[in-house]
Each structure stands twice: as C-alpha cells, then as structure tokens.
Structure 1
Amino acid sequence: MHFRHSDDVWAAFPELAAGVLTAGAPAAPVDDRLAAFHTEAKSRLAGSPLSALPEIGAWRRAFSRMGLKPTQYRCAAESLLRRFAKEGSLPRIHPLVDLCNAVSMACAVPVAALDLDRIDGNLEVRPADGREVYVPLSGGSEHPAPGEIVFADTAGNAHARRWTNRQSGLSAVRPGTARVLIVAEAMHDGAAGDVGALLDTLAAELDTLGAAPSRPALLTRADPGFTC
C-alpha cells in the first residue's frame, strides 16, 4: 500500500508537516504508559486556552481556509484535549488507539491510526470528488462534499472526513486488527521537528510493547510518498 498527500494538498497547504509509520496492534494494556503523556496534556491545558496553542491555532486557520467553521469542526487533537479538559480522562478504546490519543494530546498534534487490512489499494489525502463513501463510527454511510479533504483509497472509500476531523469506522482499529498505519500531521511553525519527535516517541513506545514499528518517515512536497 502506498500512502501520500496529493499535489493539490501540498500546493494549498505548503506549511504541512506529515509523518507516518506502520506497526502491529498490541493487545496488552497500556495504562502505565499513558500517565506521563496525560500529565503533559494537563500541563498544556493549564498553561493557556486551547485557541492560544500554536499547534491548535494553525489547524483552526487551515480549517477556515477549507471553508469550515473551526469552532464547529475541530481537528482530532483539539477534540481530544477539549474532552480531556472537561472529563479528566478519555474512554479506553484499544491499547494502540489509547496510546496514540495520549501522545496526540501531549503534543497537540492530530494522530490517525488506521487498520491497514481495511484499506483497499493505495491511500491518498486529497480533495474529494463527491463520489467517495464514508462510514461513520455510528454506522450508515455518507458522501463527502466535493472539494472536502479526505483520506481516500483506490476503491473510493473515504477513511477520514474533513482531513483530521473525523475518522471512518471502516478502518478504525479494533480487536483483531493486525497491522496499523499511523499518520501525524501538523501546520504550525516548527511542525516538522515536532512531528518527527512525536513519531520517534510513538515508535519507542510501540517497540516496548512488542508491536514491531517501522522506522518513521517524514513526508514532504518533494518526497510525499510512503510504501508499506
């Protein structure tokens, strides 16, 4: 499977920093691995409002440029931090998802984890043509609006809507998931270094858990692809 951001995305968002890695899906509990990341997230939340965080502010501006209201549609990292601030914890979903969510909050950077075996062909982050099919986590199906940025596979499945806003239930990590593609994306100043550090952290954690992560790869406009 080949993953990339389209030329249209790079042209519209030249400040994008993106990185990927692959791994197995550990089934062992990760609660003892999460505490440090939750502490870092709490520190971020105590220091300033979410809107003042450069990582979140950059995504809000990107959503505005996509024609979306940034207080109605939020990037995944902001949504996680808002829920964590309100409830003091997050529900446990799956060990790998719980770890990715914790690292995402600590860094204020969206992190997607997708079941590789549920992706049909290649995967591209690109503007939708309106024919893609998106399966919400709650079930049913939708068609993204033309021009909306989606994670689309060769068969026309949209594995995320509104870029980093909402992941599809089709490729959500679940019991039985064997292989995972992890994608981190950011837009703020210094994002490339932060995305690299985030993926190095995740790879080290996954290695400790026996998930056999690949070496992280940073993607650029000149070198936008990653082959699993």
Structure 2
Amino acid sequence: MSGSLPLAGWTIQVRSLGPVSFAQVGPPYDRTLTNRTAIKRPSMLFRHSPDIWRDFPELAAAVVFVTGITECASVDTSLSRLYGIAASRLNGGSESELPEIQAWRRAFSRMGLKPTQYRSASEALLRRFRQDGALPRIHPLVDLCNALSLAFAIPVAVFDVSKVADHLEVRRAVGDETYLTFSGAVEAPEKGEVVFADGAGRCHARRWTNRQSGHSAVGPESRDVLIVAEAMHDKAQDDVGTLVAATSEEIRDIWRCEPRAAVLSASSPQFRF
C-alpha cells in the first residue's frame, strides 16, 4: 500500500509504513549465535532527565532502535530523494529561516550558547549542503540519517549502542564526565552543559545537539544502533513522529531489519531496548 507523509508543507512519499511499534520495548536478542543458542543482550535505557523536560517543555523526541545493521547497503536512491526535499525547502534561501532551526537557536540561547558559534547538527548539515550541494559519505546508515535530518531540518543522532555503558541520558553535566572527539582528543564538558551521558560518565554528545562523540560513532563493525530525533518548533510532536516512521520505513526496505520506535514525552520519557 502506498502513502505519503506530510512535512511542513512538503510530502515524503513512502511505499508502506508497516508495523512500527510506538511503545517501550524489552531487550532484543543478539544475532550472534554461540552453540546455536541466541545470546540475550542486557537491557538498556534511553531517557531525558526530568529537568530537561521541565526547562524545555516544547521538546519533542523520538527514538528508533535497530539491530542487524551492516555497511553493505546502498542508500543512493533514498539520498537523492531526501536531498531533493532539502533543496526544495531551502529554495535558494538560508537554513536559518526554517522554523525548526530557529527553535533550536532559541534553545541554544537559553542554554547560554551563541547560536551562530554553536549550531545544532541539523543546521550545520543544512549549511554545508547549501554550500556544497551534497554531504560527505560516511556509512550507509549515517548517510541516510544525515539526509533525513536535512529533509526534516531536525537533528538526528546515531549511536553504536555497543559503545554505550548501561544507559544513555540527556541531562546536564555534573562536571566529571569525559568526551572523546573524532580526532581522538579528550574533553571535559562544563558543569551544567546539556550532554548525552552514559552510566560510565562518558559523554556521547556535547551541547545537546551540537556535536557527537567519536567513541560511539557508527562504523564498519556496528550492528546495533540507537537513533534519536529531537525538535522544538511548533509542529515538533507531529514532525518527529513522521520522521521516525520514515526512518523505520527506510531501514526496513534497505536492511530488511524490523526497527522498534517510540515517541517520548514528559509523561512517558523512557525507552527500554
């Protein structure tokens, strides 16, 4: 069955959304077999801390978890379609005019950050896309999520969960966390900075949606991944739901995996996977 997904005046065509489960889910089984017996991966948790929901009540967030990702996949057709949507939305203008980007700029200002110095990931991607007409290729899943981020103008983070300890929480730093850059340097996020932190005190993203860590970046050996989309604009709740549905559809078609997804809120802030 064919269908379409509305996006801020644009429409993303999809063949079929299929069964996307918007609910908290239990732990999946690892695809690795030992003596023909499936190995159960310990359950993990993603959440935003209560003070994040309190301080940013306009926040809308959604997650997708998938196991079985490989780098042997072609995303060229999807990228071409999503790049076209992004180019149409920009339409010769600036990404700073988009309501999704303006909302994140306001959020960064409230965090005490200069928005033109520290940009949300989606703004940085759109800026580069506007200048170059394309984005560098990294890994099929990362390339796909970057293209979805362009089309929706919403930050989309992708984490290799094998590199995350116990849980992943969007919270304010307490001052003793560590952060590994893509160049291999180790940084110490400032106390009070909004970060993605795990149970070992390792930060997987700094300044909220500004910059991910190289530690949990998706690479050739990645199999289990968590995708996080967050937005602040007026139609954010609807758009993140549409975004995770589109993401799930793309993953299902390209990797033949069955994603698990959830839309989060202050009243239902956790996703167990």
- TM-score (normalizing by structure 1): 0.98
Q: Secondary structure at the match of 1:216?
A: strand
Q: Which amino acid aligns with 1:201?
A: A
Is contact 2:177–2:188 with CA below 8 Å preserved after alignment? yes
Within 2, Cα distance between the matches of 1:213 and 1:112? 19
Is contact 1:20–1:199 with CA below 8 Å preserved after alignment? yes
2:165 aligned residue = 120
Within 1, Cα distance between the matches of 2:233 and 2:92? 18
Change (3 A) 1:213 1:157: farther
Within 1, Cα distance between the matches of 2:256 and 2:203? 26
- Structure 1: unaligned runs, 5 residues or longer: none
Is contact 1:5–1:125 with CA below 8 Å preserved after alignment? yes
Q: Which amino acid aligns with 1:205?
A: E
1:107 aligned residue = 152
Q: Secondary structure at the match of 1:189?
A: coil
Offset at residue 44 of structure 1 (A): 1.3
Aligned residues: 228
Is contact 2:70–2:221 with CA below 8 Å preserved after alignment? no
- TM-score (normalizing by structure 2): 0.82
**Residue of structure 2 aligned with 1:6, choices 49, 55, 60:** 49
Change (3 A) 1:47 1:41: same
Is 2:176 the partner of 1:131? Answer: yes
Is 2:236 the partner of 1:191? Answer: yes
Within 1, Cα distance between the matches of 2:260 and 2:162? 20
Higher helix share: 1
Offset at residue 30 of structure 1 (A): 1.1
Is contact 2:70–2:222 with CA below 8 Å preserved after alignment? no
**Larger radius of gyration, structure 1 or 2?**
2
Within 2, Cα distance between the matches of 1:148 and 1:33? 35
**Residue of structure 2 aligned with 1:18, choices 53, 61, 72:** 61
- Structure 2: unaligned runs, 5 residues or longer: 1-43
Offset at residue 211 of structure 1 (A): 4.9
Is contact 1:9–1:126 with CA below 8 Å preserved after alignment? yes
C-alpha deviations, 1:172-220, integer Å up to 9, x for none? 0000101000000000001010000000001000000125242320000
C-alpha deviations, 1:105-160, integer Å up to 9, x for none? 00000000000100011110000011110000111200100000000000000000
2:185 aligned residue = 140
Tell me which stretches of 4 or more aligned residues in structure 1 moved more than 4 Å: none
2:207 aligned residue = 162
Is contact 2:74–2:254 with CA below 8 Å preserved after alignment? no
1:1-228 alignment, distance < 5 Å:
1-24=44-67, 25-27=69-71, 28-46=73-91, 48-228=93-273
Q: Secondary structure at the match of 2:169?
A: strand
